[in-house]
Amino acid sequence: MVWRIRSKARWIVPSMASLRPPSISKDSFHCPPLSGFTSSLVGLPKRSLACSDPKNQLIYSAEAGENHSGLLPSVERNLTLRLEASGASSAQDCTNIKAENVYDGNSRVDLFGEMKMRFLSFKKHKYLEEREHFRTLAEAQAPKLSCVLNLQVQEQFMVIACADSRVCPSNILGFQPGEAFIIRNVANLVPPLENGPSETNAALEFAVNTLQVENILVIGHSRCGGIETLMSMQDDDNSSFIHSWIIKAKTAKLRAKAAVPHLNFEQQCRHCERESINNSLMNLLTYPWIEERAKKDMLSIHGGYYDFLNCTFEKWDLDAKNSNVTEKGARYLVKDTMYWY
């Protein structure tokens, strides 16, 4: 007898103790690794495969472990499972089931099945344990980052970061729900006011004028594909949306090439990544409602650089009072540089 099930697996809730089918040893499975994932993640949830319900349907059971890390396994669970069993009955022998990848157009189902388990894990380990906090967040957002030493200090916070999937600011800096208003775009750019409306300056207007944030942190990172594109593209190449966006950091490119002409292309890109952050900090001052608050010490402007190869973070502040965005060539000064490593 052969069972074939495609994207019709049912989820067993752990509390359904009444279902006690014989389990399948995971030693009888061989699942080739998926590109981009690892089987050595810490805190992965426990899993079991169960077979045979009253209708002789094969059931996939996923049980969440106690140690929550926000990650769920992808290696040992295929995108789509073809389960084959040999024997007289499922109750007598569930050990000969073989699993293999089947790409039949239904892989999206299991992809969102993985996402479902991540959501349910978040609900169990985060939402339900901090229900009062999330109820408070439901009333209105007021992104405050708390500093608990001897004093309770809370400051409104906004982050502008890159859209690169490797450098999520909440993951790197531990922002929790409600702590930071975050906007992400290609190469973490802040366009100047003169460039007109964009998603980024719309978010800035809301964060500064409505939420009244007290800190803006622009975070760049190593190996930024946007900056590498900026450094390699020709100025007359204006045929794409990418060019139209990245060219907003042209000033940073010119400064980097002028400052380190003797370095190779990769090293120039690393220099430009930092230069682009400072260019964005200065562009923030082109917005009158930001400049006014910054010069009155009502708003602090910070730069940050994350080197994900070495896992180091560099943070500095823009000296808004002594930086001049109106002069030709704009002059910026930074202060209070810190290195975290």
Binding-site residue positions for Zn(2+):
162, 164, 221, 224
Q: Which residue has the tokens 């593209």?
A: 233
Residues 313-316: contacts with CB within 8 Å, 24+ apart? 313/172, 313/173, 313/339, 313/340, 313/341, 314/338, 314/339, 314/340, 315/217, 315/339, 315/340
Of 258, 263, 288, 290, the residue nearest 275 (C-alpha) = 258
Cα separation, 83 vs 48, whole angstroms = 14
5 with 81: CB under 8 angstroms? yes
Return the sign of the alpha-carbon dihedral for residues 10, 14, 18, 20.
positive
> CA 209, 306, 303: angle at the middle one, nearest 5?
35
Asked if 121 and 64 touch (Cβ cutoff 8 Å), the reply is yes
Q: Is 258 exposed, middle or buried (0-12, 13-18, 19+ CB in 10 A)?
A: exposed
DSSP one-letter code for 27: G
The span from the CA of 91 to the CA of 220, in Å, is 57
The Cβ of residue 148 has, within 10 Å, a number of other Cβ atoms equal to 8
Distance CA 231, CA 246 (A): 10
Annotated binding site: 162, 164, 221, 224
Give me the long-range contacts of 45-48 (CB less than 8 A, separation at least 24).
45/72, 45/73, 45/117, 45/121, 47/73, 47/76, 47/77, 48/23, 48/24
Residue 71: count other Cβ atoms within 10 Å of its Cβ.
15
Q: How far apart are the first and last CA of the chain?
A: 59
